[in-house]
Amino acid sequence: MAKVGALGLAWLCFALLATSSHADPKAIPIDAIEVVPPGTPVESPPSPPASPPPPPATVGSPVFAPIAPIVAPISGPVSSPPAVGKVMFWDEFYTNFGDKNTVFPGTPTGSTIQLGLDNTTGSGFRSKYPYLYGHLSMKLKLVGGNSAGTVTSYYLASVFTKWCELDFEFLGNVSGQPYILQTNVFSEGKGDREQRIYLWFDPSADYHSYGILWNEKLILFLVDDVVIRVYHNVAGLGSEYPPYLTYQPMYIYSSIWNGEKWATRGGADKTDWSQQPFLASYTEFDVENACKVKGENDNEINVCNEQLKTSSYNDAAHQTLTDVQIEDLRRTRDQYIIYDYCTDAKRFNVTPVECAINWP
């Protein structure tokens, strides 16, 4: 806890800067600044071919199945925007840049926010408070048609100098090609842990849920409650393992921005501005099963650590992977993954040590 207190002032200063910012932190090139802000995209790993590969002859090749899900549906059809009684956008979030490109369609007003991107600016929003542990999610409907060059994001990030971050980044596509979902994990300012998958559905046709379950043992990346990635707490196994995300509360950010330099086939497909504005919608903001940090002192962190002990997101069932989750991860690896930092010998002479633990 002494570590948190020492960083409290830095956290407050960064939080004030983040509150007043009107530029997307993810749009800043990584080589243009000395201290990389939360959300800046790292050098992109190679993108997959322009067309999805055919069904594999052997296990381990990527496959795009736009109709059949990798598991049976969790419960019923995909939800539409929420009814009265759900958390409204204004309750927990505010727009932090690109106000002219944000609208609030649907009824009641505030149940859904639509972010837009044109050739002048993107747009985005941020949570009013950071969170330390919890089960956080929202539903997204992505840009349809030719979205090449666009990046729609939903991520958690702290505001320490050596920040922590958990990313969902949806990389646009040329019409008729599948979207790519890139996930990444930053631990105390160190990222380079990208994984990319083809989604098994069209994410621009309807709303789908994307979420994070984060406790003291593991972090789950969830798509419609299906586990697509796990990041275990292995910090106690030795100094060669990366530090776990245990003491830095993280804000929720969402945005749409122009990533044509790298996002689609490594920058080969540029943004077609004749298609502007590019629109993505967010709804069903679920932040209630998480610990909100309203101050910058150690006591706030202690409250979240105490809440963790009795929380549903840290109960025995969520401290290890279930058999179903293990099968989800294996199916993701065998059928949907198209890039994994764990197997990139060009970037890493030695496989990162956490990889053997994070893949079942």
CA atoms of 261 and 247, how far apart (whole Å)? 34
The per-residue pLDDT for 240 is 86
The HSE-up count of residue 267 (CA atoms within 13 Å, CB side) is 6
Tokens of 246: 């245990």
Residue in 154, 54, 72, 67 with CA at minimum distance from that of residue 328: 72
The per-residue pLDDT for 46 is 36
Residue in 38, 103, 66, 347 with CA at minimum distance from that of residue 202: 66
The per-residue pLDDT for 6 is 39
Residue in 224, 255, 258 with CA at minimum distance from that of residue 76: 224
Q: Return the percent helix, strand and coil in the chain, to nearest 5.
A: 20, 30, 50
The per-residue pLDDT for 214 is 98
Residue in 209, 87, 77, 91 with CA at minimum distance from that of residue 140: 209
The per-residue pLDDT for 274 is 97
The per-residue pLDDT for 176 is 85
Question: 184 forms bridges with which residues in the sheet?
Answer: 167
Rg (CA), the chain: 19
Residues with Cβ < 8 Å from 224, sequence gap 6 or more? Answer: 69, 74, 78, 208, 209
In the chain, what are the domain boundaries? 89-343
* 44, 266 Cβ separation under 8 angstroms: yes
Q: Which residues are catalytic?
A: 165, 169
The per-residue pLDDT for 29 is 31
CA atoms of 154 and 245, how far apart (whole Å)? 18
Tell the CATH topology of 89-343. Jelly Rolls (2.60.120)
Please confirm whether the linkage preceding 277 is cis (ω < 30° from 0).
yes
CA atoms of 307 and 301, how far apart (whole Å)? 10
The per-residue pLDDT for 295 is 83
Between helices 298-310 and 2-20, what is the axis angle to 10°?
Answer: 100
Residue with tokens 């090609």: 177
**Each residue's pLDDT tens digit in the chain (360 positions)?**
444 443 444 444 334 333 333 333 343 332 222 223 334 433 333 333 333 333 332 222 232 233 233 333 323 333 344 444 468 999 999 999 999 999 999 889 999 999 999 999 999 999 999 999 999 999 999 999 999 999 999 999 999 999 999 999 999 999 888 999 999 999 999 999 999 999 999 999 999 999 999 999 999 999 999 999 999 999 888 888 999 999 999 999 999 999 999 999 999 999 999 999 999 999 999 999 999 999 877 789 999 999 999 999 999 999 999 999 999 999 999 999 999 999 999 999 999 999 999 999
Amino acid identity for residue 271 in this structure? T
| DSSP H or E run through 171 | strand 165-171
The per-residue pLDDT for 51 is 32
- Within 62-102, residue ranges assigned H as helices are 89-92
* 282, 112 Cβ separation under 8 angstroms: yes
